[in-house]
A and B are shown apart, each in its own frame.
Chain A
Amino acid sequence: SQKIEQNSEALNIQEGKTATLTCNYTNYSPAYLQWYRQDPGRGPVFLLLIRENEKEKRKERLKVTFDTTLKQSLFHITASQPADSATYLCALLLTGGGNKLTFGTGTQLKVEL
């Protein structure tokens, strides 16, 4: 069966450190992988997209890697701040699947002072 797995346990890190979140998938061949941020009581907000032929993408303090051999994406936040505390969702968009995104369950990140 098709699965997208994100660590369900919350990730607690200290301010200033790099947070690394993992997204693993099975039985998918995604054309794109996207990362979203979701705050409590709010809708997800799009952060970054990476294509299947890209290894790495950066945007300010964010970095995403995409390894289609390992079927894994890593999401890094460098110099983390308490304001980065949120749930982060990865989502796969399949080739030929229109714009249908399939989401993982998300990982909660807590950045402590």
Chain B
Amino acid sequence: NAGVTQTPKFQVLKTGQSMTLQCAQDMNHEYMSWYRQDPGMGLRLIHYSVGAGITDQGEVPNGYNVSRSTTEDFPLRLLSAAPSQTSVYFCASSQRDRVKYGYTFGSGTRLTVV
């Protein structure tokens, strides 16, 4: 089992560029989410999905889009990158009705916007 796979691991963008962070899981988890982690701020929820075709906003959704066309994939799109989006991004998944197993996180994407 690969678990949660995130690509790329590192990315440098120029202000105004767009890009997609990829996230895939092979555990048949219904629930997937994106967090960003900044020093002193902890993990903050950007967007989440409770199943294919269903997405919703988290705490800090501005500047990001998501879609969930399959159970396995949950890409995060940056529409027009800004320096404030420099962060480490984590994708996580879980079984929707069995929270006792916790979340499984990917290894992260470190994004720098210059």
Chain A binding site: helix, strand, loop or mixed by DSSP? strand
Query: Which A residues touch B42, using CB under 8 A?
Result: 4, 89, 103-106
Pick out which of these stretches binds chain A: B14-22, B79-87, B98-106. B98-106
Which residues between 1 and 36 of chain A lie within 8 Å of chain B, taking CB atoms? 4, 8, 32, 34, 36
B45 pairs with A49, CB closer than 8 A = no
Count A-B pairs with CB separation below 8 Å. 65
> Which residues in A have some Cβ–Cβ distance to B below 8 Å?
4, 8, 32, 34, 36, 41-47, 49, 89, 91, 93, 98-106
CB pair B108 A42 closer than 8 Å: yes
Question: Which of these, B4, B99, B101, B107, contacts A93 with CB under 8 Å?
Answer: B99
**Which residues of B are interface residues toward A (Cβ below 8 A)?**
4, 31, 33, 35, 40-45, 48, 50, 58-59, 90, 92, 94, 96, 99-108
CB distance from B42 to the nearest CB of A (A): 4
Residues of B within 8 A of A93 (CB): 99
Taking a contact as CB atoms under 8 Å apart, the answer to whether A99 and B50 are in contact is: yes
* A/B interface sample: 25 pairs, CB < 8 A: A4-B42, A34-B103, A36-B103, A42-B107, A42-B108, A43-B4, A43-B107, A46-B102, A46-B103, A49-B99, A49-B100, A91-B43, A98-B31, A98-B48, A98-B96, A99-B48, A99-B103, A100-B45, A100-B58, A101-B45, A102-B45, A102-B59, A103-B43, A104-B42, A105-B42
Residues of B within 8 A of A42 (CB): 107-108
Residues in B with CB closer than 8 Å to A91 are 43
Name the distance in Å between B100's Cβ and chain A's nearest Cβ.
5
A36 contacts across to B, CB distance below 8 A: 102-103
Complex CA distance for A102 and B41, rounded to whole angstroms: 12
Extra 6 A-B pairs, beta carbons < 8 Å, given A89-B42, A99-B99: A44-B90, A46-B102, A98-B96, A101-B45, A102-B59, A105-B41
